[in-house]
């Protein structure tokens, strides 16, 4: 039975372990914090960011949501690279201030967690997609 479950889930044992590592590192808590900020941001208009939530549980919605994950990951990687480049350039130029170093550390950590969260959600989405396809076969 468990072999069949892995087949339906559409992710490897390594990817399952990767998800467990993300959970251990607090990605699910980070997600809840992000969603709290989203609720605060949209308190008055009662809207949701379309790149944070599936529109519905259709296969098309899941596939398009994967596009949002890739798009957002790209920008977080760019931001991460810019932060690293700034920090390296500032170090070589002798521009070392505690406040700017702390800002770069915070930006780097946030971007890393955003990238990990998007990867985690992508893997969960693969499981949902596989289950959806399996249901359609029955």
114-137: average pLDDT: 88
Give pLDDT tens digits for 49-75: 777 778 877 788 888 888 889 999 999
Give pLDDT tens digits for 21-49: 999 999 999 999 999 988 888 777 777 77
| CA angle (46 as vertex; 40, 49 as ends), nearest 5 | 75
pTM for the complete prediction?
0.81
So what's the pLDDT on residue 138? Answer: 63
3-state secondary structure 34-100: HHHHHHHHCCCCCCCCCCCCCCCCCHHHHHHHHHHHHHHHHHHHHHHHHHHHHHHHHHHHCCCCHHH
Q: Which of 122, 27, 133, 18 is nearest to 66 (CA)?
A: 122
């Amino acid at each position: 039975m468990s072999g069949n479950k892995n087949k339906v889930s559409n992710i490897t044992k390594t990817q399952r372990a990767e998800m467990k590592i993300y959970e251990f590192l607090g990605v699910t808590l980070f997600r809840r914090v992000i969603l709290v900020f989203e609720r605060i941001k949209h308190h008055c208009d009662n809207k949701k960011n379309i790149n944070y939530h599936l529109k519905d549980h259709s296969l098309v919605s899941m596939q398009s949501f994967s596009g949002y994950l890739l798009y957002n990951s790209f920008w977080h990687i760019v931001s991460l690279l810019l932060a690293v480049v700034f920090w390296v350039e500032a170090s070589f130029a002798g521009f070392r201030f505690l406040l700017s170093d702390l800002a770069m550390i915070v930006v780097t950590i946030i971007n890393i967690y955003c990238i990990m969260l998007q990867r985690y959600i992508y893997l969960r989405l693969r499981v949902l997609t596989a289950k959806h396809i399996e249901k359609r076969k029955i």
